[in-house]
Structure 1
Amino acid sequence: MFTSDATASVTIGPVSPDWTIDQLVEWIGADDVRSHDEALRALLTAVLAGLAPDAASALTPRSPVALVRAVASHLRAAPALRDVRLRDVAGDAIAVAPRPVGPATTGRRAPTPAAASVRRPRLRLT
């Protein structure tokens, strides 16, 4: 019989203050999971606030996907902003970004630890 081990990893990756906004958007775009990551919300909100400081806070998107789209929209409208460093726009929000946030567990089992290996039972069929 076959046995398999399943592994799950929630490593977000390195977000550096030396990255440009364009590098951040490219990094997020390289893996679709990153665009849904709640841990990036604070960083993306700070970047968006830096790109459009006069925007009304009530109109600021709340989900990470919407924030990524809003940042990308500003980069399309003003390509020169792509070369701005994250430290110049986001400030202290960069330290918050790499911290992974687990899924909501209301009514569910507790999540397994990151990179936990789950051994599947062997079925003995005779």
Structure 2
Amino acid sequence: MKILLKTIVFLLLNVVTYSLKMSDPTFDKKIIKGEKASKIYTIENNSLDKKIYELKFENENNLKKVTPNRFLLNPQGKKDILVEIGTNSKTEIGSHEDLLIIREKVINIEKNNSSTSINMTYRVKQKYIVDKKE
């Protein structure tokens, strides 16, 4: 009985805690050297709380961009984001990857006269291939 109860609590915590849903989180694009590629993702807040989302690349530079990079989502809300990855003459040909960092901040959780803040960070691997011009 204790094991069943622990399992139920664990599953409920996972459902409540991991409320971010991201449409097809893989970038998987082929980019010609000197050009850029982009992909639109949909971020969903599948919780009962308002949340602020902040997005950036782990290895930020002027060739990688997320738009918008900060926004508020109401419970059950959705937002499209644009991820762009560019290359230049110094970019090496071959396979590359970077992490898209998504910070999720719950705002205004009040229960039993106490205030709690829950922040989650997701790291989504973005892979792409740089190829030479034909």
Could you say which TM-score interval applies, normalised by the shorter chain? under 0.3
TM-score normalised according to structure 2 size: 0.27
Q: TM-score of the superposition, structure 1-length normalised?
A: 0.28
- Choose between structure 1 and 2 for higher RCO, CA contacts under 8 A separated by at least 6 residues: 1
Structure that is richer in strand per residue: 2
Question: Quick check: which one's helix share is greater?
Answer: 1
